[in-house]
Amino acid sequence: MNTITIGDTVPDFTLPASDGNQVSLSQYRGQKIILYFYPKDMTPACTQEACEFRDVHDQITIKGAVILGISPDRLESHTKFIAKNELPFLLLSDEDHKVSEMFGVWQLKKLYGKEFMGIVRSTFLIDEEGVLKQEWRKVRVKGHVEAAVELLDLK
C-alpha cells in the first residue's frame, strides 16, 4: 500500500463532486487545501466533523484555503448531507476508494466484533504547490478542526 507522506507532491486525482462536476486536485493549485476523509454521511461523528468545518469555513477561505471532504458515499447521499447540514464546501465521492487507498486511509476496521474495510477518519493539509504539509491520521473529531485551522496560520 503506497501512501503519500509529508513532503510528497500529491498526485492529481479526479472525483465526482456534490455540485455535479468532476473535480481535480490540480484545479486548486495556488490555494491551500484541507482534504478530509470521513467514513459515512449522516453518522454522528461525521456530521459533527462536517459541521465544525462548516462553522470555520469563512476563517479557512480568508486564509486562502479550500475544504474538500471525501467519503465512499454516492453523490445522492452527499447532496442530502450538504442540504441537511448547510455545508458550504464540496464533498467528493470515492466509491471505488482509489483516492482513499492512495492516501492510505482505506483500511481494515473493527466495529462490534465485525471486521470490514472502510475509511479511517483522516485530514491532510496540501500547500499551494500541491505538496503535503501536514497529516492527521485516525482523527478524533473533538478539537481536530481547530487544530487544522491553527496550522493554516503556521504553514
The catalytic site residues sit at 46
Residue 53 C-alpha cell reads as 468545518
Task: Decide if 70 contacts 99 (C-beta within 8 A).
Answer: yes
Residue 61 CA to residue 125 CA, distance in Å, equals 14
Where b means 16+ CB within 10 Å and e means fewer, 67-102 reads: bbbbbbbebebbbebbeebebebbbbbbeebebbbb
